């Protein structure tokens, strides 16, 4: 796992500023504290920071060049089928290998196949490949957006980096806020798509590469090399399907244990991470590895008990990290520094604190991200099924239920009944993709018109955020609606929320996080199946539960999904009240001219008076204000 920063000039005769790339890459030292090096070739230069995972010697140093010196690669990630690719393409007959790394396999594979080599890769990666023969740079990102890659055009030069902080210090770059990104942020509590909060900085999208050619001016084009293809296969033999799933899961875990440094597991106590822990023990043939879980004093948020049950059954070396409100308050600025953008997933700071502890024992962590998107595990997937039944009721009955839902008393427990019922009956009135969006929405379009000083104008310029879901839903292949919703989650929630959290919070402590549920053969097999195999009746993750029923305790198989989140709704009324009132005050909001201070203060009062649970909105606002103060203040 690594980080890099580089540049390509449009004028082929103007040498790149190699010294500046070194300074930019040093901003990413946390991504690669073990080694560093640079490479320059005419208009191109790149600097790299390395975290040693495979082949810990200097032979794995990057940027790495081919024997002729015509191709250079700077790479961040792990390609798990690199040994298979090395054999399949007989690379040892064509090249003399100097290292045991996957980096060198990728370098030689590109020399053999050209840019089409990316179709063969199974793993997580962001890479920059410079081909001096064609004066062309390729910036390539993995299919699921596991590893980050940003770029900006400054004058006639392209600059790129593994994190935004590797671009921000550029001379002449103006830190101007992208209002569309802010507008979208308050819909999701993260920024979707290729835009970032900084005007002029964009992100290479998952499954895409950016091609940039130097000559008499810079020419760029972004191409999509992969999109998920969903099918509706409905095999008759349940036992064979379950065995296939189990074999693919085992293979995914086995391939992602390849490492020359210790590997552990983020064990939440949920089905996904418990599956990884059980299979890792089977693949290794022992349980002498570390597992890490998060704990809370608030019972409805705490999954450390089930995590302890799994760890005890398997016999791992288990660690529990207890999350207190004062710890969360202390790490809010660290989260802003690590992500560089406003971001308000409540699991981010707990993941940061878990990683901080885990670094004392391991360098690689397996994580369960992707399990819900592959096997259908979110409450929103269940809500889709319930909605089909609910919509058969007469409109008058549904309207009455909406009124009754509004009378339910407010609770600040995790996924409380009043929160779920109110959210469901409101969202169920929309079509399939918009219902899916509304179940996740933070601020509604009506509320954003009030949240922003020029809210109506911003809405006219950018359009409703729900349109992003509707447009993407229509572009996903197949007729199976639930599969298309899984595709929506893979397009937005997975790369733009979960993978950001997973990458930045672990890399802040020089840890590599691997996500076996995104293993390509596993994903493609599951994507090809009818959604009836994933959501069986009203049973979420049906196939995963069947595949693991002999390896995990029954209480884990049948446990209700909780998900990692902090109890901010409750804490805002107690331990974090002072912090909230300090930042979301008349004074604290004055430096953000585009927000309507009176509307924000009303939301604060509404929550503190327990008239409505506004925890998600306030958590988003709090994180935005802290980010704004840190980055632009």
Average pLDDT, integer, range 417-438: 82
Look up tokens 């990630």; give the residue: 77
Candidate from 199-208, 412-421, 443-452, 484-493 with smallest mean pLDDT: 412-421
Q: What is the DSSP string of 416-428?
A: -HHHHHHHHHHHT
Of 298, 544, 492, 464, nearest to 380 by C-alpha is 492
Is a pLDDT exceeding 70 seen at residue 299? yes
Candidate from 318-322, 357-361, 402-406, 411-415 with smallest mean pLDDT: 411-415
Which helix (H) or strand (E) segment holds residue 357: the answer is helix 348-358
Long-range contacts, 185-188 (Cβ 8 Å, 24+): 185/342, 185/620, 185/624, 186/442, 186/443, 186/448, 186/451, 186/620, 186/624, 187/441, 187/442, 187/443, 187/448, 187/465, 188/440, 188/441, 188/442, 188/465, 188/492, 188/496, 188/497
Q: 430 CB contacts (<8 Å, ≥6 apart)?
A: 437, 438, 466
Residue 263's SS3 state is: strand
d(CA 278, CA 429): 41
Can you list the positions of beta strands (E) in 155-218? 157-161, 201-203, 208-213
How many Cα atoms occupy the beta-carbon half-sphere of 337 within 13 Å?
12
Q: Given the DSSP bridges, would you call strands 64-65 and 44-50 parallel, antiparallel or unpaired?
A: unpaired
d(CA 624, CA 450): 17
Average pLDDT, integer, range 19-32: 97
Name the percent of the chain lying above pLDDT 70.
96
From residue 190, give the alpha-carbon distance in Å to each of 208, 494, 495: 21, 11, 11
Is a pLDDT exceeding 80 seen at residue 415? no
Average pLDDT, integer, range 46-59: 95
Q: Determine the pLDDT at residue 393.
A: 80
d(CA 353, CA 321): 8
Going by pLDDT thresholds of 50, 70 and 90, the confidence category of residue 413 is low
Average pLDDT, integer, range 516-523: 98
d(CA 506, CA 364): 9
Q: Determine the pLDDT at residue 418.
A: 61
d(CA 108, CA 119): 15
**Separation of CA 71 from chain center:** 30
d(CA 442, CA 448): 10
How crowded is residue 299: how many other Cβ atoms within 10 Å of its Cβ?
A: 9
Average pLDDT, integer, range 473-485: 94
Residue 508's SS3 state is: coil
Residue 280's SS3 state is: helix
d(CA 277, CA 290): 10
**Separation of CA 164 from chain center:** 15
Q: Given the DSSP bridges, would you call strands 150-154 and 201-203 parallel, antiparallel or unpaired?
A: antiparallel
How crowded is residue 97: how many other Cβ atoms within 10 Å of its Cβ?
A: 14
Is a pLDDT exceeding 70 seen at residue 520? yes
Is a pLDDT exceeding 60 seen at residue 543? yes
Do the beta carbons of residue 317 and residue 292 sit within 8 Å? no
Look up tokens 């490949």; give the residue: 129
Do the beta carbons of residue 449 and residue 456 sit within 8 Å? yes
Long-range contacts, 369-372 (Cβ 8 Å, 24+): 369/494, 369/498, 369/499, 369/502, 369/515, 369/517, 369/518, 370/144, 370/494, 370/498, 370/515, 370/516, 370/517, 370/518, 370/523, 371/271, 371/272, 371/275, 371/517, 371/541, 371/544, 372/272, 372/489, 372/541
d(CA 111, CA 105): 10
Tokens (6 digits) for 384: 């889709």
How many Cα atoms occupy the beta-carbon half-sphere of 457 within 13 Å?
5
pLDDT in tens, 201-245: 999 999 999 999 999 889 999 999 999 999 999 998 999 999 999
Do the beta carbons of residue 438 and residue 425 sit within 8 Å? no
Tokens (6 digits) for 204: 């290479």
pLDDT in tens, 158-213: 999 999 999 999 998 989 999 999 999 999 999 999 999 999 999 999 999 999 99
Residue 571's SS3 state is: helix
Of 515, 532, 557, nearest to 77 by C-alpha is 515
Q: 308 CB contacts (<8 Å, ≥6 apart)?
A: 269, 293, 318, 320
d(CA 183, CA 442): 11
Q: Determine the pLDDT at residue 411.
A: 59
pLDDT in tens, 106-163: 999 999 999 999 999 999 999 999 999 999 999 999 999 999 999 999 999 999 999 9
Average pLDDT, integer, range 266-292: 96
Is a pLDDT exceeding 80 seen at residue 305? yes
In terms of pLDDT, which residue wins out, 304 or 81? Answer: 81
**Separation of CA 488 from chain center:** 14
Q: Determine the pLDDT at residue 633.
A: 42
**Separation of CA 117 from chain center:** 24
What is the dihedral sign for C-alpha 463, 465, 471, 472? positive
Can you list the positions of beta strands (E) in 371-514? 512-514
Average pLDDT, integer, range 357-364: 98
Of 86, 218, 61, 148, nearest to 513 by C-alpha is 148
Q: Determine the pLDDT at residue 410.
A: 59
Q: Determine the pLDDT at residue 392.
A: 77
Do the beta carbons of residue 353 and residue 331 sit within 8 Å? yes
Q: 288 CB contacts (<8 Å, ≥6 apart)?
A: 316, 317
pLDDT in tens, 340-352: 999 999 999 999 9
């Amino acid at each position: 796992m690594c980080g890099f920063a580089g540049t390509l000039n449009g004028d082929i005769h103007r040498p790149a500023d190699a010294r500046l790339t070194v300074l930019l890459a040093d901003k990413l030292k946390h991504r690669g504290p073990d080694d560093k090096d640079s490479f320059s070739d005419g208009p191109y230069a790149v600097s790299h920071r390395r975290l040693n995972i495979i082949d810990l010697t200097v032979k794995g140093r990057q940027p790495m060049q081919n024997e002729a010196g015509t191709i250079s690669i700077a790479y961040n990630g792990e390609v798990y089928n690199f040994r298979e690719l090395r054999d399949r393409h007989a690379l040892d007959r064509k090249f003399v290998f100097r290292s045991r790394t996957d980096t060198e396999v990728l370098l030689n594979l590109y020399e053999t196949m050209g840019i089409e080599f990316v179709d063969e890769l199974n793993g997580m990666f962001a890479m920059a490949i410079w081909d001096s023969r064609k004066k062309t740079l390729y910036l390539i990102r993995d299919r699921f957006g596991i590893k980050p890659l940003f770029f900006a055009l400054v004058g006639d030069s392209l600059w790129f980096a593994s994190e935004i902080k590797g671009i921000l210090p550029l001379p002449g770059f103006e830190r101007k806020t992208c209002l569309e990104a802010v507008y979208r942020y308050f819909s999701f509590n993260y920024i979707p798509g290729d835009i970032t909060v900084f005007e002029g900085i964009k992100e290479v999208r998952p499954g895409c590469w950016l091609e940039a050619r130097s000559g008499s001016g810079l020419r760029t084009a972004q191409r999509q090399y992969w999109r998920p293809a969903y099918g509706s296969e409905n095999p008759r033999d349940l036992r064979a399907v379950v065995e296939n799933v189990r074999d693919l899961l085992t293979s995914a875990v086995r391939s992602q244990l390849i490492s020359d440094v210790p590997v552990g597991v983020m064990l939440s106590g949920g089905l996904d991470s418990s599956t990884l822990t059980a299979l890792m023990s089977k693949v290794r043939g022992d349980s002498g590895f570390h597992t890490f879980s998060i704990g809370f004093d608030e019972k409805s948020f705490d999954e450390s008990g089930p995590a302890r049950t799994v760890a005890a059954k398997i016999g791992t070396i288990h660690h529990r990290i207890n999350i207190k409100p004062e710890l969360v308050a202390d790490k809010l600025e660290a989260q802003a520094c690590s992500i560089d953008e406003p971001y308000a997933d409540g699991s981010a700071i707990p993941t940061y604190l878990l990683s901080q502890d885990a670094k004392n024992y391991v360098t690689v962590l397996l994580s369960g991200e992707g399990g819900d998107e592959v096997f259908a595990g979110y409450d929103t997937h269940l809500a889709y099924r319930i909605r089909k039944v609910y919509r058969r009721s007469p409109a008058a009955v549904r309207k009455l239920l909406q009124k009754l839902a509004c009378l339910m008393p407010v609770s600040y427990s995790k996924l409380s009944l009043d929160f779920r019922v109110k959210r469901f009956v409101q969202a169920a009135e929309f079509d399939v993709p918009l219902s899916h969006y509304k179940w996740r929405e933070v601020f509604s379009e009506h509320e954003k018109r009030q949240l922003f000083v020029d809210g109506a104008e911003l809405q006219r310029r950018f359009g409703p955020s729900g349109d992003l879901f509707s447009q993407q839903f229509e572009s996903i292949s197949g007729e199976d609606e639930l599969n298309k919703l899984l595709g929506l989650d893979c397009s937005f929630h997975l790369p733009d929320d979960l993978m950001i959290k997973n990458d930045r919070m672990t890399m802040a402590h020089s840890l590599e996080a691997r996500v076996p549920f995104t293993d390509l053969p596993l994903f493609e097999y599951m994507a090809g199946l009818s959604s009836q195999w994933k959501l069986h009746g009203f049973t979420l993750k049906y196939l995963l539960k069947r595949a693991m029923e002999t390896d995990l305790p029954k209480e884990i198989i049948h446990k209700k999904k909780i998900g990692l989140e902090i109890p901010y709704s409750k804490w805002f009324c107690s331990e974090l009240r002072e912090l909230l009132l300090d930042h979301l005050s008349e004074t604290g909001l004055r430096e953000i001219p585009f927000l309507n201070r009176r509307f924000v203060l009303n939301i604060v009062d509404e929550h503190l008076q327990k008239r409505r649970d506004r925890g998600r909105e306030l958590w988003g606002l709090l994180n935005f204000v802290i980010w704004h103060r840190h980055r632009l203040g």
